[in-house]
């Protein structure tokens, strides 16, 4: 495997995780089991907001999504 391909592997993993977050948040929203969290004064409630957060700050939003989705509503 070329070395440049190994450099792209983490980006591929992050892209797949981001796609999963969006799909899971969308499915939960349709089932009326929204995943919500509050970061400082910002509420994250919609699948698009979760996706944006994961794309911009993956190391913060992805673990936060995993924790928030386990909280019973």
The CA-to-CA distance between both ends of the chain, in Å, stands at: 46
- Kindly state the average pLDDT of the residues 7-13: 91
- Do 51 and 18 form a contact (C-beta atoms < 8 A)? yes
Write down the pTM of the prediction.
Answer: 0.87
* Crossing angle (nearest 10°) for helices 3-30 and 58-70: 30
**Residue 46: what pLDDT?**
96
User: Rounded CA gap, 47 and 34, in Å?
Assistant: 9
Q: What is the pLDDT of residue 55?
A: 96
**Model pLDDT for residues 13-72, shown as the tens digit of each residue:** 999 999 999 999 999 999 999 999 998 888 999 999 999 999 999 999 999 999 999 876
pLDDT at 27: 96
């Amino acid at each position: 495997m070329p070395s440049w391909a190994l450099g792209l592997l983490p980006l591929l993993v992050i892209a797949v995780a981001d796609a999963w977050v969006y799909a899971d948040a969308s499915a939960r929203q349709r089932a009326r089991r929204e995943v919500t969290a509050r970061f400082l004064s910002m509420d994250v409630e919609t699948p698009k907001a979760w996706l944006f957060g994961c794309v911009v700050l993956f190391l913060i939003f992805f673990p936060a999504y995993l924790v928030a989705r386990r909280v019973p509503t």
